[in-house]
Structure 1
Amino acid sequence: MGDSFDNAMAEAINGLYKTELIRRRGPWRTVEKVELATLEYVWWWNSQRLHGELDMPPAEVEADYYAGLDTPLGTPGTQTA
């Protein structure tokens, strides 16, 4: 079930998207150009931008997490530094 925090997070991300991509790189001539730019932005957001709290890209954080799950016993939470 959703709550107000879900809405706040979505609104914050939508605001960043509009500020960083739509307004900065516009005016847009076609919907296709917006769609392609959106795909590039989402790829950058998920794989290259530095996460504010972790100073690492989200894709790298996720890869490290899943690598830690591949322990000999397959036990989550037994990650080594």
Structure 2
Amino acid sequence: MAALAADHEEAGLDEADRAMLDYAARLTRSPGEVTATDVEALRARGFDDRAIHDMCAIAGYYAFVNRIADGLGVELEHGKG
């Protein structure tokens, strides 16, 4: 988990998991650069349209929530203890 949190590209993931996280990272960092080719790459690794939709929706949701929180100046809660 620590390797995954540090850098998913170096975490030793299988091809499908790496493709999923590459897609989510690209969608988060450069959404205007995501193309049908990116979607086809996911299909080539066994993801169906529902799974690809879910990846896109989850990445989009987190981006939305983070921007709302940033825009409102919401501070992260830190664990107590």
Same fold (TM over 0.5): no
**TM (normalized to structure 2)?**
0.34
Structure index of larger Rg: 1
Higher relative contact order (CA 8 A, sep 6+): 2
